Structure 1
Amino acid sequence: MGDERTGASALAAGLRVSHEDRDQAVEILRFAAGSGRLTVAELDERVEAALAAKTVGDLRDLTADLPLEGLPPQPREVLRIDQRFGDAKRAGRWRVPRRMEVRLMFGDLKLDFTEAVIAHSTLEIEVDLRVGGDLTLVVPPGVVVDADGITKSRGDIKLPPVPGPETPIRLRVLLSGTSTGGDIVARPPRRLPWRRTRPGTITEH
């Protein structure tokens, strides 16, 4: 029986992995780094190996010493937000999907990526911003925003400067769609979460 199990395990380890398998392994690694179990150097090394992995065994070796407990649920491929006459936000440890469809009218949406769980290199956001519908993106270092796909008749678009080549890109946010009365603003967090605050102060993003 033991030999049969060993043989089955070896066979499974040799199976080819998909893009989804690699993405899931990368998410485990990033979650472990966020929990202090991996250093930045270890994270970079393992993520590079995970993206180049060919078999189940390759990915197992990279995550074998890491717990799976506490991982947020898998993100939906498409997250739709239709906000009217009220404000909404995504902040803290929320999982970034591959794509978002956002419609705002007399309501604002804030997407704070400061502590977000990022499993993919690109997020596509298609927007329909009408009167009074503003979109704010809080982008820490490594998250860049591209609004070239926006068709605008009213409203402002304000983006931070493009980072230099020395800054590694964790997530590229690609905006598309229309704005007929809403603003799009991307800004850095007012205080990064790993900076300690004095007692009695409030960290605002």
Structure 2
Amino acid sequence: MTGEVSPGGQNRPELRVSHEERDQVAEQLRIAAGDGRLTAQELDERLERALTARTGSELAVLVADLPAAQGAVPPEVKDLVRIECGSSSTERVGHWVVPRAFDVTVASGHVKLDFTEAVITQPVLRIDAKVRSGSLTLITRPGMTVDVDEVSVGSGSVKVRRPAATSGVGGEPTVLRIELSGSVRSGSIVVRPPRRGFWRWLLRRPHPGVSGD
């Protein structure tokens, strides 16, 4: 079984947005394009997504990298998201809204949480992970710190790999602190920055998301 379950075992869908809320985001996108923050192609793509958006989260990701505008729709942040992964895999990548807490159970599959482009609205994220023979991977970005002191390990492993520019060091502000707790039996938990592709390595460019890229 792979998927997301709301607290109490019941699905609780996000609230639907109105025409007015879609129009507010569309106007924010047009202003950003006028300021030179979006190209014409980006504007067209985001406007199309804004006008067909159904929930607040779908609108929020379209303006997450833009200055806040008066009347803009704030991201709808869930208090708790449960992920139950059996023998397959599930992931959160791209622009997604980080909840206040995760409850992750991995049997023999793989769960990946990629924070490099995620929408972060609060300073702390709590993750309670129960990893049996599968794996949990957290992909970090500059300004993130991860505390794994509360994770008990059996025959598995917990590895934390930090980029050259360590989060919270050298003036890098902390944008998110992850408090990871739970247990690992024969599986693994890996915390790492994004991988640098061959051409980035060849040209000695920094990892994606690292300042100076």
Name the TM tier (shorter chain): 0.5 to 0.7
Structure 1 residue corresponding to 2:188, chosen from 178, 183, 191: 183
Q: In the comparison of the two structures, how many residue pairs are matched?
A: 137
Structure 1 residue corresponding to 2:128, chosen from 108, 126, 129: 126
Would you say the 8 A contact 2:127–2:178 is kept in 1?
A: yes
Tell me the distance in 2 between the aligned counterparts of 1:187 and 1:170: 16
**Deviation of 1:105 (Å):** 0.8
**Deviation of 1:135 (Å):** 0.5
What are the ranges of 5 or more consecutive residues in structure 2 without an aligned counterpart? 1-59, 201-207, 209-213
RMSD: 2.8
Identity %: 37
**Deviation of 1:86 (Å):** 0.2
- Rg: which structure is higher? 1
Tell me the distance in 2 between the aligned counterparts of 1:166 and 1:30: 27
Letter in 1 for 2:72: L
Structure 2 residue corresponding to 1:92, chosen from 87, 91, 94: 94
Q: Given the two structures, how large is their TM-score scaled by the length of structure 2?
A: 0.57
Are residue 34 (structure 1) and residue 65 (structure 2) matched? yes
Are residue 78 (structure 1) and residue 109 (structure 2) matched? no
Would you say the 8 A contact 2:61–2:96 is kept in 1?
A: no
Tell me the distance in 2 between the aligned counterparts of 1:168 and 1:32: 22
Structure 2 residue corresponding to 1:169, chosen from 148, 165, 174: 174
**Deviation of 1:111 (Å):** 0.2
What are the ranges of 5 or more consecutive residues in structure 1 without an aligned counterpart? 1-28, 38-62, 196-202
Hey, what does 1:68 align to over in structure 2? Answer: 72
Q: Given the two structures, how large is their TM-score scaled by the length of structure 1?
A: 0.60
Residues 34-86 of structure 1: CA deviation (Å, up to 9, x unaligned): 12x3xxxxxxxxxxxxxxxxxxxxxxxxx6x44515x55x1210000010010
